[in-house]
Amino acid sequence: MRKIIHIDMDAFYASVEQHNHPELRGIPIAVGGAEHRGVVCAASYEARSFGVRSAMSGAEARKRCPHITFVPPHFERYKEVSVAIHSIFHDYTDIVEPISLDEAFLDVTENKLGIPLAVDIAKELRRRIWEELGLTASAGVSYNKFLAKIASEERKPNGLCTIHPDQALELIERLPVESFWGVGRATTRRMHELGIRTGADLRERSLQELQRHFGKAGQTFYDYARGIDERPVEYERVRKSIGCEHTFETNTAEPLELEQRLLEVLTDLRGRLKRRSFRGRTLTLKLKFADFSVQSRAYSATHLLEEAELEAEALALLRGVELSGRSVRLLGLTVSNPPEELRPGMWVQQWLDFDPASLELKLL
């Protein structure tokens, strides 16, 4: 039988801000939403007690909690903390499936430390996250992903819950259907129209009926109602490259200015390489011109590139480009071609390289 842990950080964005700024602790805060048309990305538990929620307008949050403090989001910091959290996870298992910056599944059936009980690993994870990062996490432990996630919600915030096989069906019976994975507002409304309000109601329906009303998802709902979820914890894909690009406010064709801007790109790239402990043999330069045409040049070494080499090689690549008076609007640098022998053990969250502007709001 599998041993699955679901970790969900408590009010992650808001908790990071409160940890970094002691004056914000114990008071209602909202990350984002300060502008009139702004939207709350996350709310502290103090703010949630007033009914403030993520995806709520800043104006509505202020209406519900007049003394709320709005804090601008710091996405780079949240990503850094998330990397640190996942580093802790990988001390126990490399079978880690990130769901978002603050949430992940771990398969600890066979773990690196040989700890027999998954609940003991969950306790260690929560303890270390608190001691090393000053943040609280809720954990759920069970024999599949569906139940592990349900378990993590049972004792939130800052709790731990285990659902054993002999407890699963009784717990599922009393769950409202909207708490089932994959049941959103529209599906909840449809289920209610059909008289399905709890897990017990769902289990009474035949597979054929559920498939007739919900298509392929009907099979999933049928299985969930019986405590069945065969989905594996998906490994993180190995990163094969790390890059960084800067788009300029104004285009330029001046060689010296381009070199200065290239060094700024390199500074950011070095930070990313260091945070992710990544090295490779190939350095690639990308230029995008004012007409949106793209040109790339690459340098490959027989050895892993050292940090001290990057500046000289990057400048050499740039100086080898024939600009012919064309203005450049973007410069990018990428390190790729990591050593084959390291790839199986490397872990990287590609989902961390997200665009904050396209962030899908969820309750954090």
β strands within the chain, DSSP E: 4-9, 29-32, 40-43, 69-71, 96-100, 103-107, 137-142, 160-162, 241-252, 282-289, 294-300, 328-336
Written as one string, the DSSP assignment of 272-311 is HHHHTT---SEEEEEEEETTS-EEEEEEE-SSPPPHHHHH
Q: How far apart are CA 133 and CA 150, in angstroms?
A: 25
Cβ atoms of 6 and 99 closer than 8 Å: no
Q: Which residue among the candidates 17, 46, 97, 103 is catalytic per the annotation?
A: 103
Parallel, antiparallel or unpaired: strands 294-300 and 4-9: unpaired
Q: How far apart are CA 211 and CA 26, in angstroms?
A: 48
Cβ atoms of 106 and 122 closer than 8 Å: no
In the residue annotation, 178 being an active-site residue is answered as no
3-state secondary structure of 223: helix
Written as one string, the DSSP assignment of 77-135 is HHHHHHHHHHHHHTTT-S-EEEEETTEEEEE-SS-TT--S-HHHHHHHHHHHHHHHHS-
> Residue for token digits 């659902």?
163
> Residue for token digits 């007690």?
49
Tell me the catalytic residues: 103
